[in-house]
């Protein structure tokens, strides 16, 4: 089922309609609802880097990703350093 959150031309009512059609007209064994808000705020960076090193063979790419994770961010006019958070949009 296509995503409906924060997409132009999509509304919660359309999501409910699509869910209803899927449940009533197709064989459904399970329904999954996931909210990943806060996932990138709470991920262990050491584990993440080890996982990336395991999957990515080029150390230059791994180093670039580490720089992205450690980069400060600017919201409005107030710059601040990200200490424990990894922004979802940066990954």
Tell me, yes or no, whether 26 and 47 share the same domain.
no
Tell me, yes or no, whether 28 and 10 share the same domain.
yes
- Summarised one tens digit per residue, pLDDT across range 23-60 is 899 888 887 776 667 777 778 889 999 999 999 999 99
Tell me, yes or no, whether 86 and 53 share the same domain.
yes
Q: Under the phi-then-psi rule, with left for phi > 0, alpha for psi from -120 to 50, and beta for the rest, what region is 11?
A: beta
Domain count for the chain:
2
Tell me, yes or no, whether 43 and 79 share the same domain.
yes
Tell me the C-alpha distance between 61 and 31, whole Å.
37
User: pTM for the whole thing?
Assistant: 0.45
Tell me, yes or no, whether 64 and 45 share the same domain.
yes
What range defines the domain where residue 15 resides? 1-33
């Amino acid at each position: 089922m296509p995503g409906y959150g924060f997409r132009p031309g999509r509304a919660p009512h359309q999501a409910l309609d699509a869910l209803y059609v899927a449940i009533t007209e197709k064989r459904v064994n399970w329904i999954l609802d996931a909210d990943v808000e806060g996932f990138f705020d709470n991920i262990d960076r050491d584990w993440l880097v080890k996982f990336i090193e395991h999957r990515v063979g080029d150390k230059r790419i791994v180093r670039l990703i580490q720089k992205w994770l450690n980069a400060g961010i600017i919201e409005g006019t107030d710059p601040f350093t990200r200490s424990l958070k990894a922004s979802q949009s940066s990954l």
